[in-house]
A = this chain, B = another copy of it.
Amino acid sequence: MRLSRYFVPLLKETPSEAQIVSHRLMLRAGLIRQEAAGIYAWLPLGFRVLRKIEQIVREEMNRAGAVEILMPTLQQSDLWRESGRYDAYGPEMLRITDRHERELVYGPTNEEMVTEIFRAYVKSYKSLPLNLYHIQWKFRDEVRPRFGVMRGREFLMKDAYSFDLDQATARRSYNRMYVAYLRAFDRMGLVTIPMRADTGPIGGDLSHEFHVLADTGESQVYLDRNLIDMPVPPETIDFGGDLDPIVQQRSALYAATSDVHDQARFEAEVPEERRMSTRGIEVGQVFYFGAKYSTPMKATVTGPDGKDVPVEMGSYGIGVSRLVAAIIEASHDDAGIIWPEPVAPFDLGLVNLKAGDAKTDAACGDLYASLTRAGKDVLYDDTAERPGAKFAGMDLIGLPWQVVVGPRGLEKGLVEVKNRKTGAKEELSADEVVNRFAK
């Protein structure tokens, strides 16, 4: 993409309303624009990151056997009366009256609707296990929306719902999501720790929160350092097999947010040199809640013994839009964002130091064409900006690699390649650059 034909509105000033670093950087790098309190438009660079995160989540959900659907944003409020959550949810649920005076709500989550879909079609245990998920915009009317997309009102969530005949199979469904989450967050370049959690308004018996470790995170977390070094299950993991050892191995080690932290237990269970206290950002949560919704909503299946039982359910959320901010919190420096390669909006930036100079333009044009042909997404800064502004802009938007082309280097047949994360620079020929990235 040529920057001159693209839309990356960088801000020179740090917006005063932004209190946390990810919010500041998302505004300054032109990723988002606020359209109302807690409601954001995603500008081109931000949109690309959002889609990359969404795609990683989708691939890992599909790998784990979940089936993608798409439920609407608006729901009939009657569904929430059936489950008993209409009153319980409180003012965070946005209630809407349509032209015929029927009440709708903007879905803050979809347990009710997916249970309605399930009960309409599935009657027998033979159709189980089933896990339906979607990636859709939700709305929660936070009293004080803040921190940008970290705590917005309209936000993109992946929510999955598992249906099983009994507790043992429901536990297996839970484990599949737990492992899929480990894989998805790892693929985004994050260190993420599952922590035992309260079940809160979703209800249920078993829950884990997944926290990204980041110095600037929202919550204090306490954990056994060994959790960090535990290998993430590989792509080839068998989701049909027994995943309980993977879950148990992690659950055996101490990890808790300040909400549930027990200092005495922490000190008793974890040797001092492995005790770690740092900050975390919640990016996902998994719940097993059995028949909490299926009983009031009469979602039953006929078991092998011919008897109807309420289906056993769990739900599994990932904050897709929140992850964009969480990744920035975990990966930035004073100059700007440092995108992990799998979620970067472009693979590399190509900087033309003297746009308008025939030789430099030609060299950049050739590199752009070759790298694009090699399957790389290149953001080519072909504008007339001065070099200093171009360097600062590239550092701010944080693509993993920068390829800098100027007349002086070209005289020696060289261009400069910079790694955004380490700052390391190398001088290479154009061919060497193409070979490096075409790998």
Contacts and interface: CB of A to CB of B under 8 A. Distances in A.
Interface in A85-134: 91-92, 94, 96, 98-99, 102, 104, 106, 113, 116-117, 120-122, 130, 132
A347 interface: no
A89 B35 CA distance: 20
Interface residues of A, number: 50
B6 A67 contact: yes
Contacts of A33: 117, 120
A76 interface: yes
Contact of A44 (B68, B139, B141, B154): B68
Contact of A141 (B71, B98, B113): B98
A70 interface: yes
From A36, A72, A92, A113, name the one whose CB has the most chain B CB atoms within 10 angstroms: A72
B113 A74 contact: no
Contacts of A43: 69, 117
Contact of A75 (B35, B70, B75, B113): B35
A332 B96 CA distance: 38
Given A91-B99, A96-B94, A117 B41 contact: yes
A70 B96 contact: no
A136 to B, nearest CB: 8
Contact of A73 (B6, B98, B104, B154): B154
Contacts of A69: 7, 41-44, 47
A70 B91 contact: no
A141 B96 CA distance: 12
A176 B325 CA distance: 35
Nearest to A7: B67
A39 B154 CA distance: 19
A71 B71 CA distance: 19
B74 A139 contact: yes
A65 interface: yes
A40 interface: yes
B42 A70 contact: yes
Contact of A36 (B30, B50, B75): B75
Nearest to A118: B7
Contact of A113 (B9, B35, B44): B35
Contacts of A12: none
Chain A binding surface, main DSSP class = mixed
A143 to B, nearest CB: 7
A100 to B, nearest CB: 8
A265 interface: no
A74 B116 contact: no
A112 B37 CA distance: 17
Contacts of A72: 35-36, 39-41, 137, 154
B99 A141 contact: yes
A5 interface: yes
Contacts of A41: 69-72, 113, 117
Contact of A47 (B37, B70, B102, B116): B70
A43 B68 CA distance: 8
A205 to B, nearest CB: 26
Interface string A43-59: 11001001000000000
Contacts of A47: 68-70
B39 A74 contact: yes
Contact of A74 (B6, B36, B91): B36
Nearest to A70: B42
A92 to B, nearest CB: 8
Contacts of A70: 41-42, 47, 50
A78 to B, nearest CB: 9
Contacts of A143: 99
A154 B96 CA distance: 14
11 contacts: A7-B130, A36-B74, A39-B74, A41-B69, A42-B69, A44-B68, A73-B137, A74-B139, A74-B154, A96-B106, A99-B141
